[in-house]
Structure 1
Amino acid sequence: MPRKGMRSIFFKPSSSSPSTSSSSQPPPSPLHTFSDSMMEQNIHTAESLITEWDDSKLATPLFSGTRQEAKNYLHAVKGLQSAMHYFVKQDSSSATLVRAQFLMQLAMKTLQREFYQILSSNRDYLDSETVSARSSIDFRSSVSDYDDEITASEDDFRISETERVSMLAMEDLKAIADCMTSSGYGKECVKVYIIMRKSIVDEALYHLGVEKLTLARVQKLDWEVLELKIKKWLNAVKVAVGTLFPGERILCDHVFSSNPAKRIAESCFAEITKDGAVSLFAFPEFVAKWKKTPEKMFRTLDLYEAISDRLSQIESIFSSESTSVIRSQAITSLVRLGEAVRAMLVDFESAIQKDSSKTTIPGGGVHPLTRYVMNYLTFLADYSGVLIDIIPDLPQSPMPESYYRSPMRGENTPASELSEKIAWLILVVLCKLDGKAEFYKNVALSYLFLANNMQYVVEKVRRSNLGFLLGEEWLAKHELKVSEYASNYERVGWSKVFASLPENPASQVTAEQAKTCFVKFDAAFHETCRKQSSWVVSDPKLRDEIKGSIVSKLSQKYSEFHEKNRVGLKSIRVISPEDIGKNLSNILCGNGSVDSGSFSSHSSSTTSSSHRSNRR
């Protein structure tokens, strides 16, 4: 103990001279107790360290190198605080107490400066990713009572240098926050913390592309510009909810963990993140209120899915009352996005119903309306997880149950409701196609048109998530419709050719009758092949099946007649049974202009939806 300190305990002034008049003597001082001496020693020790760091070492941070000096300083401040509590009970206006209060103010000034210095110089080590990565570490196992540096054991190679510095900075901040809060200077500490960390969070969000937009500004944006902002937002929310906000929450909770009720940590976290988080989660609501068209559906679903998938995490991060406005904004955006999706589905159905184009597709190929609707529904099926949450609130149009009802109808589940909605939309477009088939003057071509479009629908369903939603029963029913349309085309389209031959090709006919039949068959066959060379069956498998069926039936009947009546046909040239298949190879291949024309929104829908494959 320093000499001065020893004197303060053991030295006592000499008694007054006996000759001194008792009337002139000061009143006897109260007994100087051991506790008095200990508290005075606390003040003296604190004064030595506090004045030294206030004056002589300003260029050197207190919390640098080994932590022994920092530990001694914090211990001295704690002793000073104990002395202040002690003397305030003795005499709240004593010079000793005034002196202690002055020293405490100097100490808090120093600690506030150190607090700022640690936050400022360790920005790169206190980033959210590093803090989040070490959240599972028990700091007590890595920090030995704040005496030593944080060290990794020989067999613990998980702690990198960056993580070590990060953990040490967090411990320094916690130690200072504990000291300042317990000394009654929590507001000063919190103020510095909020200013520093809020600037870091706001800067991080800015670099992620998060802007403080207004509804009016968003509504004035072109869709191309807005879509770019949506793409940035989707990445931003992934980072913000995944690491930025959790890391900030962990840091706040650790630095201010000495507050049992966590009020300080919650308050700090709210002030630091509120502005940025509200701006982040308000953007989807603004998009939801943008002009609603079916082509905007998929980006709207991207936003809905991004919030929905992270809602439980958002509610966990912002669980306190002070951050309720953030939770509320996220939920509001989710609700508005759901409403927008439902409105766009209604508009989508309405657009199909209102399509009144009477232009026929050359060759009876797949109609652009069919392509547009089925491509749209295929993309839509990729969002079945979130659509299940949205569809139940969608008004359902009356429809024939036997046609659209899902096999799961007895379960009355959201998944079955989605399946039924998809089935209904397909039914709507198929009904429109039935009407468009009537625009063809050739009945056979009408059936071929229906077969082509139904086959396209079936293949789109089978090769996408639509197949899972609609099920095998639906597919089997519609595959049967394809076969029916193909059979009707074959029956009507080749009726003249089949009718040119006797009903019983093996029956006995005269040579003149045979000659007439061969001439009629040859003319009808070549005329039909010529006409149908401009017709088209888009699906190669279906085309081969149709041709195979025609060849099989026609060759069998013609071969029998040819075999029975070919004698005496030298005067005319007839087609041989073997050449029938060769001639049929040229039909149903189209002329290259089969799928010209477009549905009003096809191109924009395809463009806006193509992001799905690479958006994650």
Structure 2
Amino acid sequence: MELNQPKKSDSFGRKEGTDTKPTSNMEALGEKTREDDGAEGKKNDEEQTQSEVVPHPHCDLENVSDGIDKFLSSLSAKKDDDDKENDVVPGDIPHELLQQFSDLVEAKLSKPEVDSSFLAAVSRLSKLKKCVRELKPEDSHPSILINRIGGIHERAISFLEEEFRLLLEDSRIGESDAKGKQDHHIQQTELSESIGDHEADFPGYSDDVVSSLNNLAKEMIFGGYESECCQVYAVARSNAFEESLQKLGFENHSIDDIHKMQWEALEREIAIWIEAFKKCTTVYFSGEKALAESVFSNHPSLSDSLFSNLTRGVLIQLLNFVEAVAMTKQRSAEKLFKFLDMYETLRDVVPAMEGLFENECGNELKNEATTARCRLGEAAILMFTDLENSIKADTGKTPVPGGAVHPLTRYTMNYLKYACEYKDTLEQVFREHSRLERADSTSRPSHDETQSFDDQNKSEPQTPFSLQLIRVMELLDSNLETKAKLYKDVGLSNIFMMNNGRYILQKIKGSTEIHDLMGDTWSRKRSSDLRQYHKNYQRETWSKLLGCLSNEGLNVNGKVVRPVLKERFKSFNQMFDEIHKTQSTWVVSDEQLQSELRVSISAVVIPAYRSFLGRFSQYFHTGRQTEKYVKYQPEDIETSIDELFDGNPTPRRRP
């Protein structure tokens, strides 16, 4: 039921269309008695119950109210006079006027309608209640009158309280949308769509309803029912906030519940928390503050207190979730990113709330949020340390087939790539919270120790997080070097290091964030290492083959020794076939590296073979002897080289 509705009648005591003549002389009205008044009638009037009240047939509320206002004004004038302060005696009271006013208001209470005239009547009751309490108690009549006015006033206020509660609970815009609770496992995109309208209208009261709430609150507080008014408001708005959180999918889980959750479930809860926290701190809290200030516009201290208490309770509930998540044992490295999402939410949103709260409350909430954020920062540090531990713990003795990129390399570099998307946040975390690392951790070096890992990087500015990345890369390199030794073929060992080194370098070049953190010097050194692995591979694999094409030992006294020549061709064919058979199964997945290797091999082998063949093939008789020893033409060698590093044990060519 809203205030300020059109009146259905001009007074509480008349039905619509009834012609009641008002009394014009209010002073005479105060002295007039009813024709049927006697001792017994007077007694019956005093004992009337609400259902028996019958208003005076020759008066209406508007005219009686004028008389009440004059009476209250006269009392106020006497109080303002220092010589007559508190000198109010029973003889000054227009008993009949007060009785008539009480009758009319009590009759109205049988079928109350909260409009401006009713609120004005309640206001007069409040004033009368305060004033008549100051009367001298010699006369029994004022005492009975005080009790009656007090009883009517209490019933009127109770009705206003109920109306206040109903308006708060049932008058929100889009209330039908708030009835159904959504499953808290709903995806974030669906959440945003479902609450869009609700968010835009939060807290969801029309201007007319807010105005009505303000009028009701003002009368309740003026009538001495401040605590009741505040309690009704606090409970209703607390329930509304709880409902809003439920619409977002947020539930107030206990610490034990959170610690028992599987990661998939907790991950969903974290996403919901982020949505709820942002909505509360950027939309709901500001809307709630505006509502409290509007409803209690005449009492700013009350609006501040109610708003602070309500939002503090909601915020502490949200921060308790953060504390519980930060304490969870589920701290494996891949869970870092959800923790950083929560960290960023607290970091970015909380400062915007400072203007919403009074200094004391604001400082308390700021400290609570800062503490929660620090807990997340500490957890993030430990998670990153777990990445180091996972690298050192990977001690598998089975080499990757074909010398391909090791899964540890892929995992580490993809992890770092995603981590560096949070570069600014991780820089802040390591800068502010690294001193809080575990005291017994031996996996992380000190600042000075980390710098010694790569002396060439000292000329470039380094941050705590960039030093951490260098540390991770050093650990990965060390692990890969150990794994490379698992290959019996030294050439394959170099292919393995090339594959992993190229993968690492490409990931760093493909991420501006990682590249900026690692620095140009580090990247140049990595490229230099790759070139060295390439040289080592060629020396170990192709130098021996090229030895078969050497002129040394072929000429004796100026003549070609044909048996030696035959053995050279035979050795070349056999060795090349073995290389092709073996290295066709080796894997170089990076197309550029694969092409570089093939081109470099061709550049060394084919010219040497073509020259050797051109000089010595003439010493074989044409026909079967040539076919027996000259197995390959230069074009065949080139085709075979182009089949290397495919990871395919079946050659595409036919010898």
Counterpart in the other structure of 2:594:
543
SS of residue in 2 equivalent to 1:536? coil
Counterpart in the other structure of 1:266:
304
Gaps of 5+ in 2: 1-10, 12-19, 33-66, 75-92, 179-194, 438-443, 651-655
Equivalent in 468, 476, 483 of residue 436 of structure 1: 483
Equivalent in 527, 532, 538 of residue 578 of structure 2: 527
State the AA in 1 paired with 2:119: L
| Separation of aligned partners in 2, 1:48 and 1:182 | 22
Between 1:569-578 and 1:527-536, the stretch displaced more is 569-578
Counterpart in the other structure of 1:24:
none
| Separation of aligned partners in 1, 2:137 and 2:567 | 133
Tell whether the 8 Å contact from 1:5 to 1:44 is kept in structure 2 after alignment.
no
Tell whether the 8 Å contact from 1:440 to 1:446 is kept in structure 2 after alignment.
yes
TM-score, normalising length: structure 1 = 0.75
Compute the RMSD of aligned alpha carbons.
Answer: 3.8
**How far does residue 518 in structure 1 lie from its aligned partner after superposition?**
3.1
Query: Cα deviations across residues 190-231 of structure 1 (Å, max 9, x unaligned)?
Result: 111112221222233234333333333333333344334333
| Separation of aligned partners in 1, 2:198 and 2:147 | 42
**How far does residue 274 in structure 1 lie from its aligned partner after superposition?**
4.5
Counterpart in the other structure of 1:487:
535
Equivalent in 159, 181, 185 of residue 110 of structure 1: 159
| Separation of aligned partners in 2, 1:12 and 1:170 | 39
Counterpart in the other structure of 1:455:
502
Give the 3 Å change call, closer, same or farther, for CA 279–540 of structure 1 in structure 2: same
Q: Does 1:123 align with 2:177?
A: no
| Separation of aligned partners in 1, 2:227 and 2:30 | 42
Give the 3 Å change call, closer, same or farther, for CA 91–317 of structure 1 in structure 2: same
SS of residue in 1 equivalent to 2:251? coil
Tell whether the 8 Å contact from 2:172 to 2:206 is kept in structure 1 after alignment.
no
Query: Cα deviations across residues 516-548 of structure 1 (Å, max 9, x unaligned)?
Result: 443333222222112211211121111011111
Query: Cα deviations across residues 1-52 of structure 1 (Å, max 9, x unaligned)?
Result: 99776433256879xxxxxxxxxxxxxxxxx999537568997997587435
Q: Does 1:376 align with 2:415?
A: yes
State the AA in 2 paired with 1:437: A
Q: Does 1:500 align with 2:548?
A: yes
| Separation of aligned partners in 2, 1:201 and 1:348 | 40
Give the 3 Å change call, closer, same or farther, for CA 91–476 of structure 1 in structure 2: farther
Greater relative CO (CA pairs within 8 A, separation 6+): 1
Tell whether the 8 Å contact from 1:547 to 1:584 is kept in structure 2 after alignment.
yes
Gaps of 5+ in 1: 15-31, 63-69, 136-161, 594-616
State the AA in 1 paired with 2:500: N
Tell whether the 8 Å contact from 2:554 to 2:565 is kept in structure 1 after alignment.
no
| Separation of aligned partners in 2, 1:256 and 1:236 | 27
1:16-95 equivalent positions in 2, closer than 5 A: 36=71, 38=73, 50-57=105-112, 62=114, 70-81=115-126, 94=142
| Separation of aligned partners in 2, 1:301 and 1:377 | 14
Of all paired residues, the percent bearing the same amino acid is 28
The structure with the larger Rg is 2
SS of residue in 1 equivalent to 2:399? coil
Between 1:548-557 and 1:199-208, the stretch displaced more is 199-208
| Separation of aligned partners in 1, 2:581 and 2:68 | 124
Give the 3 Å change call, closer, same or farther, for CA 298–13 of structure 1 in structure 2: closer
Query: Cα deviations across residues 229-283 of structure 1 (Å, max 9, x unaligned)?
Result: 33333333333334334333332232123223x3x22332344344443232212
Tell whether the 8 Å contact from 1:529 to 1:583 is kept in structure 2 after alignment.
yes
Equivalent in 559, 578, 591 of residue 635 of structure 2: 578
State the AA in 2 paired with 1:441: K
| Separation of aligned partners in 1, 2:551 and 2:247 | 81
Give the 3 Å change call, closer, same or farther, for CA 331–284 of structure 1 in structure 2: same
Aligned length: 533
| Separation of aligned partners in 2, 1:11 and 1:277 | 59
Tell whether the 8 Å contact from 2:281 to 2:350 is kept in structure 1 after alignment.
no
| Separation of aligned partners in 2, 1:506 and 1:366 | 43
**How far does residue 449 in structure 1 lie from its aligned partner after superposition?**
0.8
Q: Does 1:8 align with 2:53?
A: no
1:175-324 equivalent positions in 2, closer than 5 A: 175-260=215-300, 262=301, 264-291=302-329, 292-317=331-356, 321=360
Query: Cα deviations across residues 51-99 of structure 1 (Å, max 9, x unaligned)?
Result: 3541224xxx52xxxxxxx333334444555566666667699567666
Give the 3 Å change call, closer, same or farther, for CA 404–122 of structure 1 in structure 2: farther
Counterpart in the other structure of 2:450:
399
State the AA in 2 paired with 1:431: S
Tell whether the 8 Å contact from 2:495 to 2:537 is kept in structure 1 after alignment.
yes
Tell whether the 8 Å contact from 1:534 to 1:591 is kept in structure 2 after alignment.
yes
Between 1:48-57 and 1:123-132, the stretch displaced more is 123-132
Equivalent in 150, 156, 166 of residue 206 of structure 2: 166
Between 1:232-241 and 1:344-353, the stretch displaced more is 232-241
